[in-house]
Chains A and B, each alone.
Chain A
Amino acid sequence: MSSITLQNLVKKYDDGFPAVNDISIDIEDGEFIILVGPSGCGKSTLLRMIVGLEDITEGDLFIGGERVNEKAPRERNLAMVFQSYALYPHLTVYENIAFPMRLTKGQFTKDQIDEKVRHAATMLELTEHLERKPANLSGGQRQRVAMGRAIVRDADAFLFDEPLSNLDAKLRGQMRAEISRLQRELNTTSVYVTHDQTEAMTLGDRVAVLKKGLLQQIASPRELYEQPANLFVAGFIGSPSMNFLPGTVEGNVFSTPLGKIEIPDRAAKAGAGRDIVLAGIRPEFFEDASQLSEVQLSKGTTFTAEISHSEWMGNEQYAYVGYETDARVADALQNLAEEMDADELRTQLVVEVDATSRFRSGDTAELWLDTRRMHLFDPATGENLTRDAEAGAELTREAREDRKREAERFVSKQS
């Protein structure tokens, strides 16, 4: 187990294109870090630089305090789970898991290898399949064999390259829980690449959001969600994604295509004097005003809007409100959509209301908006104007404490 430090890492290909551009991350011992971003953001390249399969163009990489830039993959003592699993098809499950130990001649006796393989197999429920070949296993089993091969190594860190992307949705959920459990149990530093933000949010102690080779923000999932650094992070994290409503701030009034909304002082101050800003509002910041008490209503702003259609999901309900977007932000929103691998950003609000609300298309609904939680963004730079860095840091600090507490609990359980 070790810490990993990335210092101004740069990866340039022969054509001069920087796939990874000046990324610095400090990964603590035992921490679970997620690298997330749309395809082509450099997350896999960064992972392969850590493991040594890609050369580092500039910058330094430290594992356990030791600089390893020039070391071959085998000298870095890291274990990696590949997207394709990369199991050796000519070897049985047993031999696949034993493979890393067989390479270290003389370091393990036959009995030790056997014990370790069986221990890993028990942890991963592979005991019955040890004598089978990978070709005869299901996707989930292959995935577990790949994990087993990583576990037996006593590696300094685990690296995962989109390990669940080849599984169906149900298995993915199971394996996600499995990976989370194993990581906590072994308390091994882990770096996990994914484009799936659910995996990012559920697994990571901290999540690094990348875009076009640049690190956008690294923080705990909660900080990313509540205090995003910029428009891209705000839009990328969360599902359904954040609504971006253009408008102008005058005093405490925010004029939007949906009408005027009263906003708190903090937002008013951040948006003052700007030609146009984008309000980032998550779907759940809205409520059906008719269902709230006076006390709650007073904490936000109420406005009316026409519902274009609604979707009842059982546990919640989504209502959609169309609006005319502002030509001045159309380009910014289009860019954002492309960066996030999405199609055109729809010019409609997604509103999440209680499942008991009876919204139908054509209804004129009274909606309540929790203006305390909304953010204002500069459409030109994407910067979050209302970000509370202190509150964000506090969230990440809390997440760190939670992780330590969890790790200690596992240690005390084992001893």
Chain B
Amino acid sequence: MASNGKLTGKQRLGWTVLTIVVLLYALFPVAAIFATSFKTPADLGNAAFLPSNWTWQNYEMILLGDAQGLFLTALRNSIGITLIATFIAVVLATLCAYAIARLDFPGKKIILGSALAVSIFPVISVVTPLFNLWRNIGLYDTWIGLIIPYLSLTLPISIWTLAAFFRQIPWDLEQAAQVDGATQWQAFRRAIVPLAMPGVFTTAIIAFFIAWNDFVYGISLTSTEAARPVPAALAFFTGASQFEEPTGAISAAAIVVTIPVVVLVLFFQRQIVSGLTQGAVKG
């Protein structure tokens, strides 16, 4: 092994090549969609990677033109529903994970077990009964009607990641806070939550992605613009005429919905500072 964490020339070369391969593999589809989103309808069929004429036409269509109604309302639905679902999931998961990590109560294992069981249930098997139920009780095609199933997707993984995170935080800190005069809630909020923040952010991002990317619930449990999220709305895009493929518009929309995700990661990257607990206890 190279000492001091420095790489030898050979190792560096190896890592560089590996990194490039992984990046290409991961980013090529995004680049392809990006390029396609700037193609004119006539250009779509040719086999070239880059558009022969760069055009904003597709973006104009979804943001200002014919598809505006469809896309912008879907974007609003997506953002609203996803943010609410993420927020609820993170708050509930934080409290739940804290209890699991810290308190001894009967049924602890059952909670963790059932959380896992729920998360491995195939979405497609749940969606049909849910469709019927939602229609009967009036939740079909509403925000709430999507937020609830999204919680079933995001809560289990949030609980698991956060419970693991809470277990790492030294219990002494909380006890110290209690001796210092804090109530259990104050100890949690002032000593534990600040330390758990990186974990909470990470969990929030994961939960956000899951809800943001969902397609099956989005297309099955909505019928109008009232609640239809972007991934579902993309399926309803049509070309300017029935002989035209809506590929360009869909690509443009795909790029637009990718932006919040990228922004989110870049923004929270700073918050996800590991090693915040260093120095809390002996070291």
Contact = CB atoms under 8 A, between A and B. Distances in A.
Interface stretch (B107-115, B168-176, B216-224): B168-176
B178 A74 contact: yes
Interface string B132-156: 0000000000000000000000000
Contacts of A142: 279, 282
B242 interface: no
Contacts of B194: 88, 90
Interface centre among B183, B190, B191, B282 (most CB of A within 10 A): B282
Interface in B5-34: none
B180 A84 contact: no
A330 interface: no
Given A78-B179, A135-B283, A137-B279, A84 B186 contact: no
A80 B179 contact: yes
B279 A82 contact: no
Given A90-B195, A103-B182, A85 B282 contact: yes
B279 A89 contact: yes
A88 B181 contact: no
Contact of A135 (B177, B195, B279): B279
Interface in B264-283: 276-283
A74 B176 contact: no
Given A89-B277, A153-B180, A84 B170 contact: yes
Contacts of B283: 135, 139
A170 to B, nearest CB: 17
A103 B280 CA distance: 19
A89 B276 contact: yes
Contacts, number: 89
Interface centre among B177, B183, B277 (most CB of A within 10 A): B177
Contact of B176 (A52, A86, A134): A86
A396 B190 CA distance: 45
Contacts of B280: 84, 86-89, 134-135
* Interface band, chain B: 20 to 34
Interface residues of A, number: 33
Nearest to A14: B104
Contact of A139 (B176, B177, B276, B282): B282
Contacts of A166: 282
A221 to B, nearest CB: 28
Contacts of A171: none
A152 B84 CA distance: 43
A72 B170 contact: no
A73 B195 contact: no
Given A86-B170, A87-B279, A133-B279, A80 B183 contact: no
Given A82-B175, A99-B190, 4 more contacts: A52-B179, A72-B178, A133-B279, A137-B279
20 contacts: A53-B178, A73-B175, A73-B178, A82-B175, A84-B170, A84-B281, A86-B172, A86-B173, A86-B175, A89-B276, A89-B277, A90-B194, A90-B195, A99-B190, A100-B181, A103-B180, A103-B186, A103-B190, A133-B279, A139-B282
